């Protein structure tokens, strides 16, 4: 039952106006929808029925056309569609439905989160509310009246501006909202609850004043300042960098605790997972502060890239998501350290997106087909989609790129369009032929680029040769060459940059020559990760050391260090499997010592340079993943570097500890990151003095970054008793802060120490664990299955069975979450045979458990195919 991009047809009917009335009550909700419908002049099919989507859980109470009630004979209904074969070319459709938000555990459509009503309609949640053409190319103006008991639900919100409010009978009240901008149903939102609000305002570049409101539970009112500041910065940045102003009089954000994803860009009324909006120094780590800044900006930027210009169909999801991720990542780069942001983004892409490309769910940035669209809110659509937009920016340059986005917004304002339309705007402003470039949207998989070079001493000619290829992915055996920008530099022995620029690779094999060089250079390739590929060049350690010291591209300095440690760790894994003794070369220790002592370097950079590649990244790079070898080699490296550089770690720790009160600026965050990295290495020496230091930090920290780092490091160290003690203290201190306790859960679930599964099962019995809350499931189940490789891949297969049990339980309760949690099992082909069999067996058990949701069915069946 897949849906194909090639089958796209324009809608036969358009909705000019949508009037909604919600009567929210404790048992059930009644929805009256009044739609002004007209035949789509662009539709050439002559006898097209009116097709309305409607989920099977929606009870139809009344349906009428121009006041005439329809009987069962006038329409047909199955579990997805309601079809009315004969309708006029212009008419009013009225539809009354009854729904049950109280028992909606899927968290799609209208549901209850902790006593408050809220919605999540992207991608196809609106059809759980009423019958409607629930597709993004049907855009309508909405007017929404919300009615509810005043005492329980004093705040009633929807999209746009409030235009009317007042009392109804029985202690109920109502508010009517009007959104003048036509939008698809997936951008509809409604909130009703007893909420506190932080208010502010923003004056746009053209002088309009916008009211800003962030709503949350009253106990969290003190955690909204950072989100508000981030919002105002994002509004200003979008004016300066893209010339985009906000368009309504109010911008609202609501924080909810039960949410499947991060946040949602509903027009004028964003709904956020609390984890992406609440922040305060005492309860929130530096990383979480940055996430809040990024997500607030992301949802704000969607107002133009997503809402004013939206997607024609869901195959175009990356049109709004890839572009908006690019916008938010550039915003974060401008607000913080550009190089650090790039390192973090690339690390995520290389670890998780590359793994997705290598797995059974691999798909192009613009997928060709899907069974359930929720399964395509992926790293490929978001993060790789962002890289594709970034490549356009690199190929065109900042100025032409901006001309391109101006044209795109102007040309398509108020429309639902395609990724082709986006690229066309870039082609039109630049005069460039981007036909080949568009393969990035249609071909899946991570391209490989192999580079070799030659040097002619007599002529001073240096030559770089590139060979590109791309492995087969499901449904795509053969790939055509990509058009990719390769940013590069050539570096002399003394560290000078002899040349730099961007090469454009278009053929499967291509050479570039550089004339008039006085010496053979060291090539710095794929600077700033200018294309999402795996690039290899036979670097010697001496060359990497040279780049680490001299490259003017900060990203490539870091990458040179990564290439060095990855290479070493891969050879140590071979030694480990052959039971040979492991050793870290003195030269590496010396390099690290130099970096650690160099006070002129940005401490955040030093922390990134000296953090070993993650187990997940090493796993992605392996042909066959040996979980134990990866873990043991990494532990060996940590311990060796910890002991060899104990004095230097201690010195770095001291240097980065300041006695001043906490601030959240970039410099202070940078110091904390190196300080806590150092603390981790110090604890890894196993010396009691460092445990005392960690405990002191835990006890005296005035911020969550330092307190949580100390907790996680001690818990994950060999000091088991101390770990238990700190966990108990932390719980006593923070049991009333849900987001802090999520971290407490996740630190334990990701602890690789033997007995992990039993500990995780115990955590599930904890009174604060709630299997209906996605954040809790992520902190326990996902933290164990996706971040605790040693525990999850236990040889007896108990980890796999544990996950399968959860999937079977969640399949009905919350299909989106079930299908997301499933990811680690889908990667079975990458593991040794014994593990493969056990993993596959559990997937088979899920498949046979019966009555699978589309979400879970698609992932399981594709994984077993």
Residues forming contacts to ligand ARG in the complex (CB under 6 A) are: 120, 122-123, 260-261, 263-265, 298-299, 321, 374, 377, 816
Q: Do residues 795 and 834 touch, judged by C-beta distance below 8 A?
A: yes
Question: Mind spelling out the 3-state secondary structure of 715-765?
Answer: HCCCCHHHHHHHHHHHHHHHCCCHHHHHHHHHHHHCCCCCCHHHHHHHHCC
State the binding partner of 293 from ligand ARG, Zn ion, none, CB within 5 to 8 A by kind.
none
**Rounded least distance, CB 368 to ligand ARG, Å:** 19
Helix, strand, coil % (nearest 5) of the chain? 45, 20, 30
Per the DSSP assignment, residues forming a β-bridge with 172 are 149
**Rounded least distance, CB 375 to ligand ARG, Å:** 9
Q: Do residues 246 and 211 touch, judged by C-beta distance below 8 A?
A: no
Helix residue spans in 511-553 (DSSP H): 541-550
Q: From the candidates 94, 108, 122, 299, give the one annotated as an active-site residue.
A: 299
Residue with tokens 């066959």: 624
State the binding partner of 787 from ligand ARG, Zn ion, none, CB within 5 to 8 A by kind.
none
Beta carbon nearer to Zn ion, 276 or 425: 276
**Rounded least distance, CB 301 to Zn ion, Å:** 8
Beta carbon nearer to ligand ARG, 377 or 828: 377
Beta carbon nearer to Zn ion, 122 or 751: 122
Beta carbon nearer to Zn ion, 261 or 601: 261
Beta carbon nearer to ligand ARG, 310 or 697: 310
Find the binding residues for Zn ion in span 318-347 (CB under 5 A).
Answer: 321, 324
Q: Do residues 703 and 662 touch, judged by C-beta distance below 8 A?
A: yes
**Rounded least distance, CB 373 to ligand ARG, Å:** 7
Per the DSSP assignment, residues forming a β-bridge with 520 are none
Beta carbon nearer to ligand ARG, 298 or 312: 298
State the binding partner of 260 from ligand ARG, Zn ion, none, CB within 5 to 8 A by kind.
ligand ARG
Distance (Å, whole) CA 131 – CA 140: 14
Of 574, 707, 545, 549, whose CA–CA distance to 633 is shortest? 574
CA dihedral 518, 524, 527, 531 (to 10 degrees): 110
**Rounded least distance, CB 372 to ligand ARG, Å:** 10
**Rounded least distance, CB 419 to ligand ARG, Å:** 16
Alpha-carbon Rg of the chain, whole angstroms?
28
Q: What is the DSSP letter of 383?
A: I
CA dihedral 282, 287, 290, 292 (to 10 degrees): -70
Binding mask 470-499 for Zn ion (x = CB under 5 A): ------------------------------
Beta carbon nearer to ligand ARG, 122 or 695: 122
Q: Considering Cα of 104, then 106, then 111, then 116, what sign does the dihedral take?
A: positive
Distances (CA, A) of 243 to 38, 104, 233, 239, 301: 35, 41, 14, 4, 12
State the binding partner of 261 from Zn ion, ligand ARG, none, CB within 5 to 8 A by kind.
ligand ARG
Beta carbon nearer to ligand ARG, 308 or 671: 308
Of 423, 137, 132, 183, whose CA–CA distance to 307 is shortest? 183
Cis peptide bond N-terminal to 861, omega within 30: no
**Rounded least distance, CB 324 to Zn ion, Å:** 5
**Rounded least distance, CB 374 to ligand ARG, Å:** 5
Q: Do residues 373 and 135 touch, judged by C-beta distance below 8 A?
A: no
**Residue 622, token pair as written in the block:** 């392996």
Beta carbon nearer to ligand ARG, 325 or 491: 325
State the binding partner of 120 from Zn ion, ligand ARG, none, CB within 5 to 8 A by kind.
ligand ARG
Q: Which residues contact 301 (CB under 8 A, 6 or more apart)?
A: 234, 238, 324, 327, 328, 331
Distance (Å, whole) CA 70 – CA 281: 58
Q: Do residues 18 and 133 touch, judged by C-beta distance below 8 A?
A: no
Question: Mind spelling out the 3-state secondary structure of 554-579?
Answer: HHHHHHHHHHHHHHHHHHHHHHHHCC
**Residue 29 burial (CB < 10 Å; 0-12/13-18/19+)?**
buried
CB atoms within 10 A of CB 40: 17
Of 350, 834, 357, 452, whose CA–CA distance to 624 is shortest? 834
Residue with tokens 């996902």: 782
Beta carbon nearer to Zn ion, 283 or 324: 324
**Residue 761, token pair as written in the block:** 């099962």
Distance (Å, whole) CA 532 – CA 538: 19
State the binding partner of 134 from Zn ion, ligand ARG, none, CB within 5 to 8 A by kind.
none
Binding mask 263-302 for Zn ion (x = CB under 5 A): ----------------------------------------
**Rounded least distance, CB 329 to ligand ARG, Å:** 13
Of 740, 744, 736, 741, whose CA–CA distance to 714 is shortest? 744
**Residue 440, token pair as written in the block:** 């990035």
Q: Do residues 747 and 787 touch, judged by C-beta distance below 8 A?
A: no
Beta carbon nearer to Zn ion, 307 or 324: 324
Count H helices and E strands in the chain, helices first: 31, 31
Beta carbon nearer to Zn ion, 321 or 559: 321
299 in catalytic set:
yes
Of 550, 561, 540, 452, whose CA–CA distance to 498 is shortest? 550
Binding residues for Zn ion (CB under 5 A):
321, 324
Q: State the catalytic residues.
A: 299
């Amino acid at each position: 039952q897949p849906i194909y991009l090639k089958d796209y047809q324009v809608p036969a009917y358009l909705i000019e106006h949508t009037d909604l009335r919600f009567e929210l009550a404790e048992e059930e909700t009644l929805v009256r929808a009044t739609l002004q419908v007209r035949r789509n002049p662009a539709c050439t099919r002559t006898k097209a029925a009116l097709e309305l989507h409607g989920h099977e859980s929606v009870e139809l109470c009344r349906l009428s056309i121009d006041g005439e009630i329809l009987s069962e004979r006038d329409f047909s209904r199955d579990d997805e569609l309601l079809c009315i074969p004969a309708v006029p070319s212009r008419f009013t459709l009225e539809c009354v439905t009854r729904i049950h938000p109280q028992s909606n555990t899927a968290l799609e459509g209208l549901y209850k989160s902790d006593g408050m009503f809220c919605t999540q309609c992207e991608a196809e949640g609106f059809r759980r509310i009423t019958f409607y053409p629930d597709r993004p190319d049907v855009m309508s103006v909405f007017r929404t009246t919300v009615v509810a008991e005043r005492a329980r639900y004093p705040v009633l919100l929807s999209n746009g501006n409030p235009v009317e409010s007042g009392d109804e009978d029985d202690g109920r009240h109502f508010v009517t909202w009007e959104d003048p901008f036509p939008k698809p149903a997936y951008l509809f939102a409604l909130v009703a609850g007893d909420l506190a609000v932080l208010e502010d305002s923003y004056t746009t570049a053209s002088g309009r004043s916008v009211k800003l409101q962030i709503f949350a539970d009253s106990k969290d009112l003190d955690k909204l300042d950072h989100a508000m500041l981030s919002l105002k910065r994002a509004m200003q940045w979008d004016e300066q960098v893209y010339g985009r102003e906000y368009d309504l009089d109010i911008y609202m954000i609501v924080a909810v605790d039960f949410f499947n994803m991060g946040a949602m860009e509903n027009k004028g009324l964003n709904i956020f997972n609390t984890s992406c909006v609440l922040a305060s120094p005492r309860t929130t780590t530096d990383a979480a502060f940055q996430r809040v800044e990024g997500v607030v900006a992301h949802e704000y930027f969607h107002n133009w890239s997503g809402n004013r210009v939206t997607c024609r169909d869901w195959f175009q999801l990356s049109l709004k998501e890839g572009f908006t991720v690019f916008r938010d990542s550039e915003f974060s780069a401008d607000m913080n350290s550009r190089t650090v942001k790039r390192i973090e983004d690339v690390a995520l892409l290389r670890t998780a997106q590359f793994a997705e490309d290598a797995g059974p769910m691999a798909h192009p940035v613009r997928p060709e087909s899907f069974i359930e669209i929720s399964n395509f809110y992926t790293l490929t659509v978001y993060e790789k989609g962002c890289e594709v937009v970034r490549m356009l920016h690199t190929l065109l340059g900042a100025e032409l790129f901006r001309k391109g986005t101006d044209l795109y917004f102007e040309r398509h304002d108020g429309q639902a369009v395609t990724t082709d339309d986006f690229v066309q705007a870039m082609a039109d402003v630049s005069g460039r032929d981007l036909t080949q470039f568009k393969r990035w949207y249609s071909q899946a998989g991570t391209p490989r680029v192999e580079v070799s070079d030659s040097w002619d001493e007599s002529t001073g000619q240096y030559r770089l040769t590139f060979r590109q290829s791309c492995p087969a992915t499901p449904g795509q055996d053969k790939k055509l060459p990509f058009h990719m920008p390769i940013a590069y530099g050539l570096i002399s022995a003394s560290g000078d940059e002899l040349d730099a620029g961007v090469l454009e690779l278009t053929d499967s094999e291509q050479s570039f020559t550089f004339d008039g060089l006085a010496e053979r250079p060291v090539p710095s390739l794929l600077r700033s990760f200018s294309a999402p590929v795996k690039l290899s060049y036979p670097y010697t350690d001496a060359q990497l050391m040279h780049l680490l010291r001299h490259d003017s591209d900060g990203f490539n300095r870091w990458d040179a260090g990564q290439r060095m440690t990855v290479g070493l760790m891969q050879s140590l894994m071979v030694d480990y499997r052959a039971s040979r003794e492991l050793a870290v070369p003195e030269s590496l220790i010396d390099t690290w010592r130099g970096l650690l002592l160099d006070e002129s370097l940005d401490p955040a950079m030093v922390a990134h340079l000296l953090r070993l590649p993650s187990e997940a990244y090493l796993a992605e790079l392996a042909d066959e993943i040996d979980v134990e070898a990866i873990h043991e080699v990494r532990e060996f490296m940590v311990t060796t570097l910890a002991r060899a550089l104990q004095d230097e770690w201690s010195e770095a720790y001291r240097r980065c500890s300041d006695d001043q009160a906490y601030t959240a600026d970039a410099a202070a965050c940078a110091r904390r990151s190196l300080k806590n990295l150092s603390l981790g290495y110090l604890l890894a020496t196993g010396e009691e003095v460092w445990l005392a230091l960690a405990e002191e930090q835990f006890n005296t920290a005035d911020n969550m970054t330092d307190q949580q780092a100390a907790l996680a490091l001690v818990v994950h160290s060999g000091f088991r008793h101390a770990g238990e003690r700190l966990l108990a203290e932390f719980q006593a201190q923070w049991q009333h802060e849900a987001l802090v306790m999520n971290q407490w859960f996740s630190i334990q679930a990701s602890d690789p120490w033997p007995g992990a599964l039993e500990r995780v099962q115990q955590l599930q019995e904890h009174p604060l664990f709630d299997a209906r809350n996605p954040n809790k499931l992520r902190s326990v189940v996902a933290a164990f299955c996706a971040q605790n490789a040693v525990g999850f891949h236990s040889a007896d297969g108990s980890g796999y069975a544990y996950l399968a049990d959860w999937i079977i339980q969640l399949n009905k309760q919350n299909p989106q979450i079930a299908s997301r949690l499933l990811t680690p099992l889908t990667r079975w082909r990458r593991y040794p045979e014994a593990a493969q069999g056990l993993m596959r067996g559990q997937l088979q058990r899920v498949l046979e458990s019966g009555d699978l949701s589309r979400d879970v069915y698609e992932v399981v069946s594709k994984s077993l195919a």
